[in-house]
Amino acid sequence: MSAASRGLIARFRVLWTSHSRSPLFSSVCSDSFTSPVRAAAPFLSHVCRFSTDALKTEDEEAGSRLIIEAKPRPIGPESKRTGAIAVKCGMTAIWDKWGARIPITILWVDDNIVCQVKTVEKEGHNALQIGSGQKKEKQLSKPVVGHFRALGVPMKRKLREFPVSEDALLPVGTPISVRHFYVGQYVDITGITRGKGFQGGMKRWGFAGGPASHGASLSHRSIGSTGGRQDPGKVFKGKKMPGHMGCEQRTTKNIWVYKIDPARNLMWVKGQVPGAEGNFVFIKDAVYKKPNPDLIPFPTHFASPDEDLSALEPITVDLGTVDPFMQE
- For residue range 104-136, list pLDDT tens digits in order: 999 999 999 999 999 999 999 999 999 999 999
Name which of 15-24, 33-42, 200-209, 235-244 the model is least confident about: 33-42
Structure confidence at residue 19 (pLDDT): 52
Structure confidence at residue 123 (pLDDT): 94
Structure confidence at residue 25 (pLDDT): 42
The backbone torsions φ and ψ at residue 148, rounded to the nearest 5 degrees and listed phi first, read: -65, -40
Mean pLDDT of 193-213: 94
116 in Cβ contact with 170 (< 8 Å) = no
> pTM of the prediction?
0.78
- For residue range 54-71, list pLDDT tens digits in order: 555 555 555 556 788 889
- Strand (E) positions, 193-233? 197-199
Is residue 4 very low, low, confident or very high in pLDDT (cuts 50, 70, 90)?
low
Structure confidence at residue 12 (pLDDT): 63
Is residue 43 very low, low, confident or very high in pLDDT (cuts 50, 70, 90)?
very low
Distance of CA 179 to the CA centre of its chain: 20
Residue 33, burial from CB neighbour count under 10 angstroms (0-12, 13-18, 19+): middle
**Average pLDDT across the chain, whole number:** 86
Structure confidence at residue 327 (pLDDT): 77
Is residue 326 very low, low, confident or very high in pLDDT (cuts 50, 70, 90)?
confident
Is residue 182 very low, low, confident or very high in pLDDT (cuts 50, 70, 90)?
very high
pLDDT tops 90 at residue 314: yes
More confident residue, 310 or 178: 178
* Contacts with 300 (C-beta within 8 Å, 6 or more apart), sequence order: 81, 82, 170, 174, 176, 180
- Strand (E) positions, 224-292? 243-245, 249-261, 266-270, 280-285
pLDDT tops 80 at residue 35: no
Is residue 37 very low, low, confident or very high in pLDDT (cuts 50, 70, 90)?
very low
Structure confidence at residue 183 (pLDDT): 96
Is residue 39 very low, low, confident or very high in pLDDT (cuts 50, 70, 90)?
very low
Separation between Cα atoms, residue 283 and residue 191, nearest integer Å: 9
pLDDT tops 70 at residue 237: yes
